[in-house]
Structure 1
């Protein structure tokens, strides 16, 4: 049902304990702009870590690098001991990302969206339908499950986007401003 993992996350590499995330001197430039300038992090497995800072501080850039969507310009980062550049597939197989903005196929229904993702991630038809029902209930979208995503409010799209991120429970979940566009009740739910 779930993807086969390449190596157990408890495995030790280089005689050190493996962290969920480890960066040393991470740097990223966009032209003359230094978006990331020497970031050092060590986030243990099982931890919850928040990046706080003003707009333009580089939070999304850092997340995009850790999620293998951008390559650093200097130094290194590892996710569960895997280098984010040299072992992109291993990193991606262990993580999920919910970006700042919901991105969905608006012609699909909420249920179709989740079933499609579950099927792409290796679930059987029956298990994909079962998992989509669980997630629709958990995120308060059961009543809208048969409606096209284009009819969803911004908050409903956001909840569906987050639900899509946890179709398979990842070892590492990046949430980039997950409550953007949600009303106070929905924020508390998430």
Structure 2
């Protein structure tokens, strides 16, 4: 059920209650039963007496209802915008994670075939050392990691956000980098 329908019915019930309680149904008085005055005039309550008050109350209720509906709609609109923004961010993260996973799987197959590992792009980051072309960013099959300086390995690990402890040796850091890129997990370099 729509929220505006709920407000409408609540206002209608409140108005109905107000109308019935302030203007009870007048029965036609019967002079024979003693409802007449001494002079014989019959008292009939004026049903038009409460009409302006009821209309003012109805106007107030209508304004209040419109304000509440407007507030609810504004709140729902804000929540919807927040959810859309959050969903967009999650979708981008998911797409980036799926791309990286696919690149790792591809690199794992390339490594098995004896080919070089290709770098996995990370958004808003440049490859370490200002490397520009893809060929110079590749990790050669089993050769370059052994010859790569510790500084270069640190650059690559920092680029991918991989933290290696201070006690991890160069070979262990190279293995971390190789595993991240999709290389073998248990084979030694």
Calculate the TM-score normalised by the size of structure 2: 0.25
Greater RCO, CA 8 A, separation 6+: 1
Calculate the TM-score normalised by the size of structure 1: 0.25
Between structures 1 and 2, the one with greater helix share: 2
Between structures 1 and 2, the one with greater strand share: 1
